[in-house]
Copies of this chain bind each other. A is one copy, B any other.
Amino acid sequence: MILSKKRLAHIVFESDDWASKTFDIILLFMIFGSIFVAILDSVASLRAQYGETFLILEWLFTILFTIEYLLRVWLSRKPSGYIFSFFGMVDLLAILPTYLSFFIVDSQLLTVVRALRLLRVIRILKLGRYVAEAEYLTKSLRGSSHKILLFIGFVVAIVLIMGTFMFLIEGPEHGFTSIPVGMYWAIVTLTTVGFGDIYPVTPLGQFVSSLIMLLGYAIIAVPTGIVSSEMASQKRKDEKSLGENSCPKCRFSPVHLTDNYCKNCGEKLF
């Protein structure tokens, strides 16, 4: 069975017939399988027992991903464009660590090898290719990104000042050993995570903490308000344009008020 380059490119890049869909499904299984092996490999008891199987599987996955990478480079209309694109980098980073770990034999660098082996989990980013709708959410977030950044800056300023105050009030004897630790505690508290590894002991410290918590409780409303109003505004635009020209699901095909289903994706319209 000889495939033309054009046919092969169709299989790799498209997803509309039997062959190309099979290619995608195999790739999905490989991504999940490879991450699953990496996760199991990190459990000490499982590595002791099945370590070699995991290694063989890992090399198998790496070789298959390498073939996929080379295919994509070869089949791209503009290879350099693919190589330096986001997914090109992800595809490269998904195979590089295993090869690198092969060349390190020095026992001093075993930590590096361990780190490299774990980098395999970024293969999850390869999934991004299949999430067409991600774009929609990203757009909604980007529209309010400078407001969210400003908010995070505001939070960091509060965290700096509160962390310093708590370091001053509680001191190293109650776990607040430095300003960075105080800031770490302030973030843990303001975000309402509250591990409890460090907590105020003095009455004054508990009082200041209470203020931080109430503040955190009140300002959690701000990012939510930002994103909510941004999304509500987009939804209003969508609802307006619905009667005019696009499907609410695929945002692609023009729809008319008299249509019951989108011609493109089959979404029920009313």
Contact = CB atoms under 8 A, between A and B. Distances in A.
A188 interface: yes
A194 B192 CA distance: 8
B39 A179 contact: yes
Interface in A146-162: 146-148, 150-155, 157, 160-161
Given A220-B220, A224-B221, A150 B137 contact: yes
A161 B182 CA distance: 26
A172 interface: yes
Contacts of A197: 196, 199
Interface residues of A, number: 84
Contact of A160 (B35, B133, B184, B209): B35
Interface string A204-229: 00110110011011101111111111
A193 interface: yes
A131 B114 contact: no
Interface string A173-207: 00001111111100111111111110100010011
Interface stretch (A10-18, A120-128, A253-261): A120-128
A189 B125 CA distance: 21
Contacts of A125: 157
A26 interface: no
Contacts of A220: 217, 220, 223-224
A269 interface: no
B187 A214 contact: yes
B183 A210 contact: yes
B191 A195 contact: no
A239 interface: yes
Contact of A233 (B223, B226, B235): B235
Nearest to A158: B124
Contacts of A155: 214, 217
A56 interface: no
Of A147, A153, A197, A225, most buried by chain B (CB within 10 Å of CB) is A225
